[in-house]
Structure 1
Amino acid sequence: MNQIFKNRLLLLFSVMLFCANSIIKAQSNQFYNDAYQTIDNMLNDKQQYSFKEAVFSVENSYYQGKLDTDKLNREVNFLKNFANAIIQNRDLTYKQSDKEKVSKYAAVYSIMCQTLPIAVRDTVIDYKPFYYEFNDVFGHNDITNLFVSKLLTTKKGNCNSMPYLYKILAEELGVEANLALAPNHVYIKHQIKSDGWYNTELTSGIFPQDSWLMASGYIHLDAIKNGVFMKALNNKESLALCLFDLAQAYNRNFPNNDGEFVLKATNRALEVYPNFAKALILKAETHKAQFEKLMNNQNLKTDNPENIKIAQKDLKAKELFELMTKEYSHIYDIGYRQMPEEMYLDWLVSLKTEREKYENKNLLNNFTK
């Protein structure tokens, strides 16, 4: 009798554990589903566009609803008020008719990149800007190193979080800021009357000419022509970046997922921005992972070319293999080239070491009193 009771108790415990895990998983997925829906509603004009809300919804999904968005909004509001104070208390040398807009760009740039004196009662203190953190710049060890929430908390950021925050602050001030992509990189593009389109590089606080971007050696002319790199992204294309971030965060939360949600997010991103290389790569990598799972189910080792042929006797495996092969070819055809991470860091540093060679000095002069 005691053994029967123990067996029943063990069975009951197992069922309860299974149910608890299912509920936790369902709740976890719901955070991602809600974030996806928020961004999708913005893309479909069913909800007011807000890059800030899109970014924080992605980050909140990763934190499983525990992100203190109220605190983050207070931080953003403080920076917005600070920017308005800068605008009111300095006069740029810039004299074109769009001076009001440019003054807002200059204020956000100052907050992001410059040490500024602040009068607090009878004391003047220095406001410290955000700065580039060279540790884990790609978020391999900790994806939160790419988050705006972490940037706001630590003032340490990278080429993902810093341009995102710049765009958020610009939109808080009522002006547009266009994100743009380079190999492994995100930066800001603006259009003004004096200079036309110009670049703002937040990792070093410089306004580089396009020649610096081309100096990487990994921007193929086809990539420019096809909008893979150096394109000023509109707001909906910027939301496509958020959908990619959402899919990437989902993979970190659920590393053994079936790929369904990741493909849903990347496919929606590609509807908006068809030549978005990172989304194309993640889509192909997801199909590759699905193919390899089918190989594993057949007890076939993935490092043997002969096994790949054997696996394709399965119709689903054959379909996935052909699909991912086509996808990788397309990525190459539109001009994307993978830049080694070590080379990327060297290229990034070159902007400071060769500043005289690449900087738009006229723009820097316009952004001073």
Structure 2
Amino acid sequence: MSPNHSYIRFTDNDGETLNVELTNGMFTANSFVLNNGYIKSEALENKMYMQNLTKKEILSQTYTDLASGYIHKFGYDEFVGKILDKAQQLNLNNIGAVLSESNLNQERFIQACNNVGINPHDKEDLQNIKHFPELVLQLRNINGQFDYIDQSGFAQMPPEQYEKWLGSLQKAENKQESDEILERIQAIEAQKRKEALQKQKEQTITPKKEAPKTYVIPKEYL
């Protein structure tokens, strides 16, 4: 994972770790991902970005993507809460799930305030939640999530900045590097196929020539 983005990391036959951007079919170095300007040292320390994901963590992200698509179509409801709970059970470092849950909790708080006649957007009126312990607890939980997000090293990457960063991959130097990596991989694979074919030829068993058989006629038939 990286801010607003994900990519595939794999190890080639030489043991070197490579990154491939499926968005545009190019290979990238770790330095390119780091240079997007939105990955803080705290985020790396908290293993938020640029980590090899386990199957559980990939499934967690799938739940988060499901929640995001559902929110886009239908808004926030308790079904979203169930999905995000499952996502965080699978991966506590899933910042996307934390952000969506924070938004969900804010929606819950606004609805709860409206139910008791408090305007949550009016600072003076908001003071009246002191008469409702459950609202005070909700607000504390929301502020606690805000603190967690701030300490995690997360930085919001605007969509237009993300598009600009991703587009920079097409710069000549990055494209050249990607092409060189691809050529090296193809050369290695070609050499391995050649060696495998040669080995196969060497292992081919040549049938042994058998000496002519001699049949002796029994004396009783002579």
Q: After TM superposition, give the deviation of residue 287 of structure 1 in Å.
A: 0.7
| CA 256–334 in structure 1, closer or farther in 2 if over 3 Å, else same | closer
Runs of at least 5 residues in structure 2 that lack an aligned partner in the other structure = 191-222
Residues 199 and 209, structure 1, Cα contact 8 Å, conserved in 2: yes
Q: After TM superposition, give the deviation of residue 315 of structure 1 in Å.
A: 1.7
Runs of at least 5 residues in structure 1 that lack an aligned partner in the other structure = 1-180
Cα distance in structure 1, aligned partners of 2:175 and 2:12: 22
Q: TM-score when scaled to structure 2?
A: 0.76
1:351 is matched with 169
2:183 is matched with 365
- Pair 1:243 & 2:63 matched: yes
Q: After TM superposition, give the deviation of residue 196 of structure 1 in Å.
A: 2.5
Supply the RMSD in Å over aligned alpha carbons: 2.1
1:189 is matched with 9
2:215 is matched with none
2:122 is matched with 304
> Counterparts in 2 of 1:1-369, with a 5 A limit?
181-255=1-75, 257=77, 260-356=78-174, 359-360=177-178, 362-368=180-186
Secondary structure of 1:339's counterpart equals: coil
Secondary structure of 2:89's counterpart equals: helix
| CA 256–347 in structure 1, closer or farther in 2 if over 3 Å, else same | closer
Q: After TM superposition, give the deviation of residue 362 of structure 1 in Å.
A: 4.6
Residues 26 and 175, structure 2, Cα contact 8 Å, conserved in 1: no
Which amino acid is 2:54 matched to?
Answer: N
Secondary structure of 1:207's counterpart equals: strand
Q: TM-score when scaled to structure 1?
A: 0.47
Structure 1 residues 310-360: Cα deviation after superposition (integer angstroms, max 9, x where no partner)? 234322211111111111211221211111111111101011125438835
Which amino acid is 1:263 matched to?
Answer: G
Task: Mark the structure with the bigger radius of gyration.
Answer: 2
Which amino acid is 1:242 matched to?
Answer: T
Structure 1 residues 122-164: Cα deviation after superposition (integer angstroms, max 9, x where no partner)? xxxxxxxxxxxxxxxxxxxxxxxxxxxxxxxxxxxxxxxxxxx
Residues 298 and 311, structure 1, Cα contact 8 Å, conserved in 2: no
| CA 359–222 in structure 1, closer or farther in 2 if over 3 Å, else same | farther
Residues 212 and 358, structure 1, Cα contact 8 Å, conserved in 2: no
Identity %: 28
Cα distance in structure 1, aligned partners of 2:3 and 2:130: 34
Secondary structure of 1:185's counterpart equals: coil
Which amino acid is 2:52 matched to?
Answer: A
| CA 193–295 in structure 1, closer or farther in 2 if over 3 Å, else same | same
Which amino acid is 1:213 matched to?
Answer: V
Cα distance in structure 1, aligned partners of 2:62 and 2:86: 11
Which protein has greater RCO, CA pairs closer than 8 Å, 6+ apart?
Answer: 2
Count of matched residue positions in the alignment of Structure 1 and Structure 2: 187
Cα distance in structure 1, aligned partners of 2:85 and 2:43: 20
Structure 1 residues 260-292: Cα deviation after superposition (integer angstroms, max 9, x where no partner)? 322222122112211111001011111111001
Cα distance in structure 2, aligned partners of 1:247 and 1:196: 35
| CA 316–288 in structure 1, closer or farther in 2 if over 3 Å, else same | same
